[in-house]
A and B are shown apart, each in its own frame.
Chain A
Amino acid sequence: MSDQPVPVLEARNITKQFPGVIANQNINLKLYPGEILALLGENGAGKSTLMNIIYGLYHPTEGEILVNGQVVRMNTPRDAIALGIGMVHQHFQLVPVMTVAENIMLGSETVRNGLLDVRKVAEQVTELSQRYQLDVDPYAIIEDLPVGMRQRVEIIKTLYRNANILILDEPTAVLTPQEIEGLFQVMELLRGQGKSIIFITHKLKEVLRIADRINVLRGGRVAGEANPKTSTQAQLASMMVGREVILTVEKEEARPAERVLEVKGLSARNDLGGPALHDVSFEVCAGEIVGVAGVQGNGQTELVEVLTGLRKADHGQITLNGSDMTNAGPRRITQEGLSCHIPEDRHAHGMVVSYSVADNLVLNTYNQKPFARGININQPAIIEHAKELIKRFDVRTPGPNTHAGSLSGGNQQKMVVARELSRPLKLLIAAQPTRGIDVGSIEFIHNQIVRKRDDGVAVLLVSSELDEIMALSDRIVVMYKGEIIGTVPAAEATRESIGLLMAGVHADAQPPAPDASAPGS
């Protein structure tokens, strides 16, 4: 840092204008050899846009990119790849129906006698995945893989192309703490080899843990630089958002009332037909937040899917507001059961990427008044509704008619949350509700969830962020291998005790049956 070598990568005066938005304005950024540069910024600050420009996918309205001190002209990502730039995108760029090996070689295929040499590529993939301890099966089909595994495939994809400069756009958003630690080890290994990394995340703790230098963007401009050794999370947060952010959630003692959701002896299978849930029983009362903790892949996804009608249960019973909803369809559950669902994968279950923001905001209510008028859609009412939610939830978009896919990742998430929370509710099922959201908005969404609780909504919160679970929950259930291994009142929970349960270790002081610790006691 002191002797200032030539930056491997430099962005000079980058400006990028989209219809109605200036995403980047006169941005300057330098990346030196062998360093990890963290890029922070609110949702919509322009981080992904800048990265896409560096990667040759978007073309800047103004400004230039230098690689090793030379101005380069990039027309497509092909040029960037040739210059040794690799990028892991915020949303997976994998073809779901193809195998891992096919996805990895796509665009840089190995060909023998005119045909793809899948075997050779598979060997290379196995070799890479062993070297970096990423452990992926080159012949697996992408759509069968859990998100954490897909993330690894994306990383191998850039390694396979021999990238010297790696751009990682929110790679940790979908990873479990263990996987994140694994990723950091890979990043350190790569840094040790002299590679340079730009790392984007909203988790300030991660930034302080891994980054050598921090750049902050705000509103499309550079807001400043920070040194991870001397900064605190609070400083970074206020630098990003431009105001003080309260990083802890303030809430009062829960006052649980009647039972809203009751699950008894629930069993279900996963996509591959294997057991995913086994004899799961718990309940959520009005006015309390029950957090579901667990290492990802221990049945949480399937549990949420069964509860929201997206997956069939094999055994067991689900009672919602006193009526039996076992294997009911999603519409009955959402409308009759007054339940809502913030899904873990927003692109797959949360939104229609090709619809406008306004239409996405009525996906759960379009068939009800005032949005439906007989068999017609009441467009003015939908637009009005959208304008109000956009304001209330601070969704950064040029307008209600904007194509939802062009919003920044975090703003897409805010749009989904806004839709789900804006309806009279009895039960809120939130899976990773703050995935990809900046600290300022997390504060807001957490407050909204607590407010719902105080209004008497039963909340089931699933998150791989242990901090989020600890901060919001009144009661924590821990899932391990498809079963509930323990239930802990939040007041008694510590990171260690929950962590042990997540690893499948029964703590001795733990009451054996989940029902033993009555809610609110």
Chain B
Amino acid sequence: MSTGRIVAGALAPHPPHLVYAENPPQNEPRSEGGWEVLRWGYERLRKDLAKTDYDVILVHSPHWKTRTGNHLLAVPQLSGLSVDPIFPNLFRYTFDMKVDVELAKAIHAEGQARKLEMSLMENPEFRVDYGTIISCHLANPAWDKPIVAVSSNSTYFDFSNEMGQDEMARLGEATRAAIEQTGRKALLLASCSLSHRHFTTESELPEDMSKEHITHHGQYLWDMRVIELMKQGRTRELMDILPDFTEQAISETKDGSLAWLLAALDYPSFPAEVYGYGSVIGTGNAVVGWIQSIGTANVANSR
């Protein structure tokens, strides 16, 4: 078996609005569209992903919140109805997914070897969280690849953002090691928004784009600063300022997804591709990709 590797990683936020706006057959509510710039961003990400060869999707989701360690889905097939507890009016989605249990078990072992708290979720009645489902749907609506879902173990963030981030970085390393060891070609998704201050009311028509804007200019400035570092391939610097960003932009990075992704990718120094940025109910969201074949080729060309 050849050595596995991470072929691509993406910041793949999960506002249910994006699935709602698209009207896929799996989702029950119907819309008149909306949030096109972000949805076009996902479209472009999908085009680039179509050029890469990957056989499994790993997703770290802020909406599988665990406080007892890092949990991994470990049931081969999971299906059911996912209803968003915050936006049940927008997202009631029938899902059916395959899980790469072998890879999940390898991550479990690699995590334990690094003294991380690891658990396998083996209850077949478990309802997969909507963050995982939305990011997977938007990256790969065909659902033709198995997934591995990693919970957001946010406990260490309760102590400090730095401690939380450190844990996530170790989990990222464990993830990479498990992928290499099992020979997988993996796509990694960090399912999170950037700045994350929501509006707390909703317009009558949720997709009324005349009502959509970032909650606060300060949030926007922070988002742009973070995106600029991604574009310039300065991801180690990004890790350094991430605790402050998390605090000041009230960012969903507090749940660890982005730190996990950057660590798993070993802090890429090639420029990330920014596919789209937009606000969803006031929060800042970017679709950003680190695709090894494209990124490293660009770096080579620019030399």
Are A and B physically bound partners? no
